[in-house]
A and B are shown apart, each in its own frame.
Chain A
Amino acid sequence: MKPILVLVSVDSNSVLLGAKQFVNYLREALEKYNLKDSVDVLETGSMGVYTQGVVMAVFPDDVYYSVRSVADVEKIVSEHLLKGRPVLSLEIPRERLKLVVEKEKVTEEVRIVLRNIGVIDPRSIDQYIARDGYFALHKALFEMKPEQVIETIKESGLRGRGGAGFPTGLKWQFTAKAQADQKYVVCNADEGEPGTFKDRLIMEGDPHSVIEAMIICGYAVGATKGYIYIRGEYYGSVENIQKAIKDAYDYGFLGENILGSGFSFDLTVRLGAGAYVCGEETALLESIEGKSGRPRLKPPYPPTNGLFGKPTVINNVETFANVPQIILNGANWFKQFGTQGSPGTKVFSLVGNVVRRGIVEVPMGVTVRELIYKFGGGLVGGKQLYMVQTGGTAGTFIGVDKLDVPLHYESFRDHGVSIGSGVILAMDEDVCPVDVALNTMEFFEHESCGKCTPCREGTRLAVEILRRMSRGQGKREDLDTLRQIAITTQEASLCGLGQSINVPLLSILDNFREEFLAHIGATACPRGVCRFEKPVTKVKTRV
């Protein structure tokens, strides 16, 4: 054990800021100053902040630095590590730290899913065990019957964190009750919702929590095989999950006769190839089977006819990450967080024009205002908040009048504010709703797989109309046509992709109706964003 420890936050965001390079330089510098024997360098997951540069923490001094260049690294090594003088100019101030790195708990923050992230070395199974890892697996295998595990999850009220919010325990029960010679557990890690990146940080920062949960799930429903379907671009996640699976096999948490209980479970990784629709569960299953990712007709649902036609549990990364803690601490412990209908916490991805973009885990029932102003630090440049997109691209657009709606799975039904996958995209006064709507529909048009007509044609038509509107050629009846498209596509589409386009489209049409109307018959975009193509009278140039 070396006396000094330097933690470097290495995740896919900080890698872009040069984290790997800094780590390498740090190791070289330690060699140069002959400090190798007294300083340990550890790459950990995200510490929750991006705008500050790469976060580097020195323990036991408990000093946090924001590093932007190798020169900064050099300074930290030569001043702090060698001479023991903290480099004040690079230090992240304490009061910012509380909010930024979330080292000390902000009152409302509760970490269940993120409890290990930025604390342990994600590539060390021992450190995961140190934080009670795999104790839940032991408890489930030796102290609980499969039915009791399902009962606990049901009792806890855990609901799918991928966006749809289906009760997890119920899903498990359906699969457990289905009769088959083979059952599967699948983890949906094809995080494709624009703006969401929580699953990536979970897999990068605490891969074992997902693996442990999948084994527990397998035991509960009687499945012996599992697949983690990770989005192909998530290199860091794939690497860490694969390392974690290998370590779990070495320790005997995976494979034959786990911990001597007689239960066996195998787990492998499958990679996605970048199609948004593959986040839809049946399309994802098709993709694992080696076919092209097209959704299936439902019913039957995956719990009875899933992967290779066998009963399959399919859950999101964040949903799984909750499971070990629920098994360890019980359903009642879990229910103390969040609201009655949606217990527990939610990991939110804060993006857009907020000061502190990043992730934060808070109990269900938090308001958009709190997320943006308290955790996100308000808007960049002190601008006015104009519009917020909640729940991802398939989520809702709301104006500032709905900032105080508590977010949980019923908030869409009750108030028209969707929680979805937990994206909070804040937009300042420089955006134009027509432009945003066009952008959103272009995304759906591009990602629509084309299997069913309503979705393929509906998205195309919506884009056409919105494009025309953004060129200044909109008509009054366009608004009604758009509304009709939204409703028809929702009602007639095959899968969740087409079925959800009414959510963003109708919410933006309703909440920003004035802006849409103001585009019709105007000479220029009222918000100065859209480029109107109207015949311009030529100005004579002076000779």
Chain B
Amino acid sequence: MSKVKSIEDLMKIKEKALKELQLRDTGKRGKITVAMGTCGIAAGAKETLKAVVEALAENNINDIAVVQSGCMGLCEVEPTIEVRLEGQEPVVYGHVTPENAKRIVKLHILGNQIVSDLLVRKGEM
């Protein structure tokens, strides 16, 4: 650890540590649910989950919670994720490989447009 010499140093530490803490905040704009049933895990949901978190971190998005759930019954299109933004209908995507996960974060979370080629279902069940 190096010494803190100025308020700027202090701010830097604060911002970095704050990001870690915010992960636990519940006051979020939306959430991404990764289905982690046995089927999901077998299809690579763990990598997907990791990719989602990384993509969010890379793009400095900290108001989206990442939550895991059980199988949502769409085993043939696993790994699946559900994107739920405040005030919008939830969207379920299928075949979400790590690359696709990054694409979803970029287009859907940042650009607010649905990635139609991966779309499985739109709206509440």
Partner-contacting stretch, out of B31-39, B75-83, B87-95: B31-39
- Interface flags for A121-159 (1: CB within 8 Å of B; 0: not) read 000101101111011001000100000000000000000
The reply to whether the CB of B21 lies closer than 8 angstroms to some CB of chain A is yes
B1-56 residues with Cβ-Cβ distance < 8 A to A are 1, 3-7, 10, 13-21, 23-24, 26, 31, 34-38, 41, 46, 49-50, 52-53
Give, as a whole number of angstroms, the nearest-CB distance from A432 to chain B: 48
Cβ-neighbour of A127 out of B21, B36, B65, B67 (below 8 A): B21
With A127-B21, A129-B13, A130-B20 known as contacts, the answer to whether A61 contacts B67 (CB < 8 A) is yes
A138-183 residues with Cβ-Cβ distance < 8 A to B are 138, 142
Cβ-neighbour of A1 out of B13, B20, B34 (below 8 A): B20
A residues in contact with B7, CB < 8 Å: 138, 142
The reply to whether the CB of A524 lies closer than 8 angstroms to some CB of chain B is no
Measured CA separation A30–B67 after assembly (Å) = 18
The reply to whether the CB of B73 lies closer than 8 angstroms to some CB of chain A is no
Measured CA separation A251–B9 after assembly (Å) = 10
With A38-B46, A247-B1, A251-B1 known as contacts, the answer to whether A1 contacts B23 (CB < 8 A) is yes
Q: Could you tell me if A135 and B5 are in contact, using CB atoms closer than 8 angstroms?
A: no
The reply to whether the CB of B68 lies closer than 8 angstroms to some CB of chain A is yes
A residues in contact with B36, CB < 8 Å: 82-84
With A83-B37, A138-B7, A260-B5 known as contacts, the answer to whether A130 contacts B68 (CB < 8 A) is no
A101-130 residues with Cβ-Cβ distance < 8 A to B are 119-120, 124, 126-127, 129-130
Q: Could you tell me if B14 and A38 are in contact, using CB atoms closer than 8 angstroms?
A: no
Q: Could you tell me if B26 and A62 are in contact, using CB atoms closer than 8 angstroms?
A: yes
The reply to whether the CB of B66 lies closer than 8 angstroms to some CB of chain A is yes
A-B contact count (CB 8 A): 92
Q: Could you tell me if A84 and B5 are in contact, using CB atoms closer than 8 angstroms?
A: no
Chain A count of residues within 8 A CB distance of the other chain: 36
With A38-B50, A84-B36 known as contacts, the answer to whether A129 contacts B17 (CB < 8 A) is yes
Which A residue sits closest to B64, measured CB to CB? A60
Q: Could you tell me if A84 and B53 are in contact, using CB atoms closer than 8 angstroms?
A: no
The reply to whether the CB of B69 lies closer than 8 angstroms to some CB of chain A is yes
B residues in contact with A260, CB < 8 Å: 5-6
Interface size class of B (residues with CB under 8 A): 35 or more
The reply to whether the CB of B57 lies closer than 8 angstroms to some CB of chain A is yes
Which B residue sits closest to A130, measured CB to CB? B17
B residues in contact with A37, CB < 8 Å: 50
Cβ-neighbour of A84 out of B15, B37, B52 (below 8 A): B37
Measured CA separation A132–B13 after assembly (Å) = 10
Give, as a whole number of angstroms, the nearest-CB distance from B82 to chain A: 12
B residues in contact with A259, CB < 8 Å: 4-6
Q: Could you tell me if B66 and A130 are in contact, using CB atoms closer than 8 angstroms?
A: no
- Interface flags for A320-346 (1: CB within 8 Å of B; 0: not) read 000000000000000000000000000
Q: Could you tell me if A3 and B10 are in contact, using CB atoms closer than 8 angstroms?
A: no
With A38-B49, A260-B5 known as contacts, the answer to whether A126 contacts B23 (CB < 8 A) is no
Most buried by B among A38, A130, A132, A252: A130
The reply to whether the CB of A529 lies closer than 8 angstroms to some CB of chain B is no
Give, as a whole number of angstroms, the nearest-CB distance from A209 to chain B: 15
Measured CA separation A135–B13 after assembly (Å) = 11
Measured CA separation A519–B66 after assembly (Å) = 65
B residues in contact with A59, CB < 8 Å: 23-24
Measured CA separation A60–B16 after assembly (Å) = 18
A residues in contact with B16, CB < 8 Å: 126, 130
Measured CA separation A38–B67 after assembly (Å) = 12
Measured CA separation A170–B26 after assembly (Å) = 42
A residues in contact with B65, CB < 8 Å: 60
> Could you name 7 residue pairs across A and B whose Cβ atoms are closer than 8 Å?
A59-B23, A83-B41, A84-B35, A129-B14, A250-B1, A251-B4, A252-B3
Closest 10 CB pairs of A and B: A130-B17, A252-B3, A84-B68, A84-B36, A126-B17, A60-B65, A3-B53, A59-B24, A130-B18, A250-B1
Known: A1-B57, A124-B17. 14 other contacts (CB 8 A): A2-B53, A3-B49, A5-B23, A38-B50, A60-B31, A60-B67, A61-B67, A62-B26, A82-B36, A83-B36, A126-B16, A130-B17, A131-B21, A247-B1
